[in-house]
Structure 1
């Protein structure tokens, strides 16, 4: 193998021109003959027994060339990458140059490599930080959540009203025929929750246990294509109507749901916890804003391969979220009218931001000479074992030490940024000329894999119910190049 040329190109691509010698190619031809001889029929010889010279005499000396190239090229590519000490971050694009002969062949590989990163400003930055404020209404909301969790449902013999839970059977019909995702049995539906398609719950209000009814519904125009704008009929039967028995908000309630003896003490504890939660959230947001600036400030020619790999990780995470909610991925695509290519395209922008952030963090770790000791790793293992109530040895078994070191290095890098930064007051809402506050402008919701800001996609309604729609790892290793030229449900 001989590297004839090694040229740096834009987007952190290195173009390698590699020559495979006659000797190397002959060794590959021998392997190709041993692999293919059983598949070649030669009169007078049993399968696999025909000598190479006989086969080449019948079919031409080039009969084994293609397979031999497939055998020789990956080894030559890897040897060239090693010789030039390239830090490969994706799959190469490979093409043959010139003809393949008994004297060997030459190929060109365009290889994406880890980019050179120049840090910009990462110390002394400024970002807004919202102070943690907790009102009495916030505490009351948290108490209401606790009350809801401890609310009993009591069967009642009356007409259903908003706030009640109706236990129903339902089945939807389009043009007299049942449609997918439109059937449920013994489903508990909270009336007024808005969990079913518009117009459904309103028509269940007023029904009693044992009553059956046909409900006429027209699906919204922005519904998925099979039912968008269609008029359907749901046959509904109510089995039971239940009302909520909400516990009284008093000292007895506090004793039942907490370790406190009085409602006053419970409220004080809730206020403390909510304050801590909001302080942590504000700190995370503050850090995110700072790291966005750090990522923007770096100079790096990011290869497309790194962005593509990150976009695929986002998509894989999104698929897992979808499946955890019991929705088959293929069914989700059909319901939303999306395809995987569109999801990946929408993920490219957040993927680029994440890659730039990863590059920035790695550059800070290098610049600051951040190193993690074995003692620090051991201490982190102990913290995780205690936090998740898992045996220490099991944590070590499933979480490699290098991964822990990477996490701790990243934390230290972020700390260097945040500890030198200044928190500023959030900007006030812009006021209109009449003095009234302008409402926040709504942005279009893109259906993308979950980005690094952690925001979930908006829920979309299915045939009868709304279903909730369903990111960071190491780069994929470079794949051995091929020899051929490459440019390279919801059912209720």
Structure 2
């Protein structure tokens, strides 16, 4: 087989492949055998029909077509490997020349990974915000804790902001009740928001036994975004009583004896969370600084596919939350055009980052062992709220392990870049990134992988890692 590659653009190549007829003979023999099993010819047992009879009964052209369909994918992969091309999508293949007993010639146009010249990333500089824990932050956390231990008492007065009410609610459109848009006996805190526009305003001033009707828009169901009439009836008004913030409360709500110890612990926990946020911001800032140093050609088809996937995911998340895109854009203070521009910018940065990190991982010859893959599987399962073993089984059954391996390799490359960077906060202090995991993620020390997940990931994980290292 002979092959030649023509560079159509930095991210697209055209392969021209010539396959001698002799190399088609194994596929041709297999085609004859398969067809012989499928036809009935008087005087011959099934599967024993000679090729010349098949040519007469079925036609030599049908046999050649089947042989070509069998050999094309194999020769395409061989041509990719011999020309060191990494495809990013399915190719556009065209048979340009073929006659019986003569060489087969075909072309394949495909998007490929661009060649990237990664600059020296040692000492990349980046800056992040200071870690700041204010007294207001601490007070907010303590207030939330007090509310968890608060009690509700019925009151004989109208509801005010912050009170709890027990309510019945029904939505109607054109006088007909909307299916699924009614609740009964629900406890709701006035002023909390997030349910129906206009509900909080309607509840303020209502006493037990009173009802009120207002116009709103549904946030879920088949009529999401449509105007409806909402009738709300209050059956109870309750006032929340919070425990005093004293030593007795500290002993009840925590393992501490004094409110001073509880407050110090809250501040320390806030500090840890803020430092994790700072480390994540540092990682992102370093990656952004790296991307500014390198030019990465992007395949438009890949960008388009990723844009469509993110839009679809966004729409699904909003639908699940019962929020229309219009409402989301209004809350974010964005126009549709601004949203699209921001989404495209983030997609292009993400695709470019993948290419750069893949190249770094390749040059550094990183590998992935079973324990790393198992830990990654567990972490991904936890992030998606799934059982680790079920998640691992799904990944193996649907051949997603190579994607997980690539995620780990990119994480290692990112960790190497970040560890060699110089990161300071706004005050000029050096930022220590002790919360950076080896795979580039940010968090507390890695949890132990469960025995079930380890078992599910065992043999296949070794195989996947070894194949990637090869």
- TM-score category (smaller protein): 0.5 to 0.7
Q: For residues 43 and 364 of structure 1, do their structure 2 counterparts lie closer, same or farther at Cα, with a shift above 3 Å needed?
A: closer
Partner residue, 2:350:
354
Distance 1:404 1:55 in 2: 50
Distance 2:186 2:33 in 1: 64
Distance 1:146 1:235 in 2: 34
Task: Verify the 8 A CA contact 2:130 2:425 in the aligned structure 1.
Answer: no
Distance 1:44 1:11 in 2: 59
Partner residue, 2:435:
none
Question: Which residues in structure 2 correspond to 1:84-483 (within 5 Å)?
Answer: 84-98=83-97, 101=100, 103=102, 105-120=104-119, 122-179=121-178, 182-211=181-210, 213=211, 215-219=213-217, 228=225, 230=227, 232-304=228-300, 307=303, 348-365=344-361, 369=364, 406=409, 409-410=412-413, 412-418=415-421, 420-421=422-423, 423-425=425-427
Q: For residues 162 and 348 of structure 1, do their structure 2 counterparts lie closer, same or farther at Cα, with a shift above 3 Å needed?
A: same
Measured after TM superposition, the shift of residue 148 of structure 1 is 2.1
Distance 1:417 1:156 in 2: 62
Q: SS at 2:420's partner residue?
A: helix
Question: Which residues in structure 2 correspond to 1:49-68 (within 5 Å)?
Answer: 56-57=55-56, 60-68=59-67
Distance 1:19 1:203 in 2: 77
Measured after TM superposition, the shift of residue 276 of structure 1 is 3.2
Q: Which blocks of at least 5 consecutive residues in structure 1 are unaligned?
A: 338-342, 427-451, 455-492
| Structure that is richer in helix per residue | 2
User: RMSD of the alignment, in Å?
Assistant: 5.0
Partner residue, 1:9:
8
Measured after TM superposition, the shift of residue 126 of structure 1 is 3.2
Larger RCO: Structure 1 or Structure 2 (Cα < 8 Å, ≥ 6 residues apart)?
A: 1
Measured after TM superposition, the shift of residue 241 of structure 1 is 3.4
Task: Verify the 8 A CA contact 1:129 1:425 in the aligned structure 2.
Answer: no
Q: SS at 2:161's partner residue?
A: coil
Distance 2:194 2:125 in 1: 42
Aligned length: 406
Q: For residues 40 and 79 of structure 1, do their structure 2 counterparts lie closer, same or farther at Cα, with a shift above 3 Å needed?
A: same
Q: Which blocks of at least 5 consecutive residues in structure 2 are unaligned?
A: 330-338, 396-400, 429-439, 443-470
Task: Verify the 8 A CA contact 1:290 1:417 in the aligned structure 2.
Answer: no
Distance 1:51 1:375 in 2: 51
Task: Verify the 8 A CA contact 1:89 1:112 in the aligned structure 2.
Answer: yes
Q: For residues 98 and 174 of structure 1, do their structure 2 counterparts lie closer, same or farther at Cα, with a shift above 3 Å needed?
A: farther
